Amino acid sequence: MKHDGSKAPVTLVTVNRENDDGVLDWPTALACVNGDVKLLGTLVELFVKHSPRLIREIRDAIARGDRLGLVHAAYALKKSVSNFCAWRAFEAALRLELIGHNGDLYGAEEACAALEEEIERLRPKLTALAGGCSSD
């Protein structure tokens, strides 16, 4: 594939955290993919498909006392949800990642429960929004 050497387009997006409930900010997420509804819908599908595995990996890592495993899985989930500007889930995943970094996994189970709650809140909203877009 050839590239014409011209500058790649740049879209700068300002995240406005006052206009959403923290569960997700769909307009900003859409702006981050240059308004590509189809792509955002694909991202939702991937998230819905893969996030249960990451949650399982987090739970298993906590049960095994596997700090590195916890850090990896929490970090991956944190990245995933950031694409939807899902800040509450992002912060819940970040908390787990930091617990993994810090050592004795104290509070990990509670933090995991909080993350699962956020993901459960996020998933149906994402699915509804993505479904609404695809039927337009």
Partner 1 sequence: LNVLKVDEGRITHVLSHTANDENLSTEAQSPQRDDTEQESLRLCDSVAIVGRGNVKILIAEDDPVCRRVLEATLVKWGYEVLVTSDGIEAWQALQGENAPPLAILDWMMPGLDGIDICRKVRAMSSPTPIYIILLTGKSQKEDLVAGLSR
Interatomic CA distance for residues 105 and 70, integer angstroms:
9
Least separation in angstroms between residue 35's CB and partner 1 is 12
Interatomic CA distance for residues 36 and 132, integer angstroms:
14
Buried b (16+ CB within 10 A) or exposed e, 17-40: eeebeebbbbebbbbbbeeeeeeb
Instruction: By CB under 8 A, tell whether 10 contacts partner 1.
Output: yes
Instruction: By CB under 8 A, tell whether 19 contacts partner 1.
Output: no
Near partner 1 in 83-102, by CB under 8 A: 83, 85, 90
Q: Which stretch binds partner 1 (CB under 8 A): 5-13, 58-66, 104-112, 113-121?
A: 5-13
57: nearest Cα among 67, 70, 41? 70
Near partner 1 in 39-58, by CB under 8 A: 39, 42-43, 46-47, 49-50
Q: What are phi and psi of 49, to 5 degrees?
A: -75, -45
Instruction: By CB under 8 A, tell whether 135 contacts partner 1.
Output: no
Cβ count within 10 A of residue 43: 19
Q: Toward partner 1, which CB reaches closer, 56 or 110?
A: 56
* Chain positions contacting partner 1, by CB under 8 A: 1-10, 12-13, 15, 32-33, 36, 39, 42-43, 46-47, 49-50, 71-72, 75-76, 78-80, 82-83, 85, 90
